[in-house]
Amino acid sequence: MAKMAMVIDRQKCVGCGACGIACKTENNTQGRKDGQSFNWADFMLKTEGKFPEVKFTAQPVLCNHCTNAACVDACPVTPKAMFKTEDGITMHNDERCIGCRSCQDACPYSVWDLREEGEYSVISFNSDEEETHSFYTDKSALIPGCTASGAEMAAKAGAKPPMMTAYKHPEYDNVRRMGIVEKCILCSHRLATGENPYCVDSCPSGARTVGDLNDPNSKVSILLKSYDYDVLKPEAGTKPNVYYIRNYNIK
């Protein structure tokens, strides 16, 4: 069987955010009233040192699709809402999810040092206190007498959000309901048709590569043979399948 993995080349990544925009567009992730945003393809930027000895790091983060996924072990429902597919993707079933957030608590990658405690980047929770894509139910024009309202745009497009991708995944709803978690599924609906995840195709520098680790001739296998690599928090024992090679800073 295939074992899907992603390799991210940090020498090519400058933190432009194209991956995040692509992911949001492809997967219909919502914004939030408090100004925060759901990003399955997120990133952390860090600048260290003092000029002229300065080091810049753009660290993309996403679900690591771990071989030993702590989120899967923690999911209390049967059958599990969070589970592993045959090709190694950590998948989520929306219908079975009860919104207990045990997966978030168990995931060692959910809370990052640069973020306030309790704000999750890898697994997001759709609070049942907010309406899905609430901007597109607002009937107020952004510029009165000049622009349409969000609700009008959604009505004319026949979808909420108006640019909704209808990928018809057997486990994942096109737009997730409130009160459940959601996360990166490695665009498995695109992989099923021979396409790359949209973040991979949208990266202007080609920093992201997805492929089969069990195929020695795949691009990910060749990259991992060609360069030293690291993973996030190897001490957690989850065996992540998102790998990082090289660095932006070259001596």
Span 122-148, mean pLDDT? Answer: 86
Span 186-211, mean pLDDT? Answer: 97
Q: What is the pLDDT at residue 35?
A: 46
- The one-character DSSP state at 174 is S
- Name, in order, each residue with C-beta under 8 angstroms of 172's C-beta and a sequence gap of 6 or more: 91, 92, 93, 94, 182, 185, 189
- Structural domain span for residue 116: 4-130+165-245
Q: What is the pLDDT at residue 3?
A: 96
Between 2-11, 136-145, 218-227, the lowest mean confidence (pLDDT) is in 136-145
Please report whether residue 19 resides in a domain: yes
Question: For all residues of the chain together, what is the average pLDDT?
Answer: 89
Residue range 160-180, pLDDT digits in tens: 999 999 988 999 999 999 999
Please report whether residue 141 resides in a domain: no
Q: What is the pLDDT at residue 191?
A: 96
CA distances from 6 to 49, 62, 107, 185, 208 (A): 30, 10, 18, 12, 7
Q: What is the pLDDT at residue 119?
A: 47
Please report whether residue 144 resides in a domain: no
Q: What is the pLDDT at residue 128?
A: 74
Please report whether residue 158 resides in a domain: no
Of 43-52, 53-62, 222-231, which has the strongest mean pLDDT? 222-231
Please report whether residue 10 resides in a domain: yes
Please report whether residue 171 resides in a domain: yes
For the chain, the domain total comes to 1
Share of the chain above pLDDT 70, in %: 91
Between 41-55, 187-201, 204-218, 226-240, the lowest mean confidence (pLDDT) is in 41-55
Of 16-20, 101-105, 124-128, 202-206, which has the strongest mean pLDDT? 202-206
- Name, in order, each residue with C-beta under 8 angstroms of 76's C-beta and a sequence gap of 6 or more: 98, 100, 102
Q: What is the pLDDT at residue 96?
A: 98
Pairing between strand 242-245 and 4-9?
A: parallel
Span 194-202, mean pLDDT? Answer: 97
Span 94-101, mean pLDDT? Answer: 96
Between 18-22, 124-128, 133-137, 141-145, the lowest mean confidence (pLDDT) is in 124-128
Please report whether residue 24 resides in a domain: yes
Q: Using an 8 Å Cβ cutoff, are 209 and 5 in contact?
A: no
CATH number at residue 226: 3.30.70.20
H/E segment holding residue 56: strand 53-61
Q: Report the C-alpha gap between 30 and 126 in whole angstroms.
A: 9
Q: What is the pLDDT at residue 243?
A: 98
Please report whether residue 146 resides in a domain: no
Q: Using an 8 Å Cβ cutoff, are 10 and 95 in contact?
A: no
Choice between 63 and 124, residue whose per-residue pLDDT is larger: 63
Is 159's pLDDT higher than 60?
A: yes
Is 113's pLDDT higher than 80?
A: no
- Terminal Cα distance for the chain, rounded: 40
Q: Report the C-alpha gap between 135 and 113 in whole angstroms.
A: 30
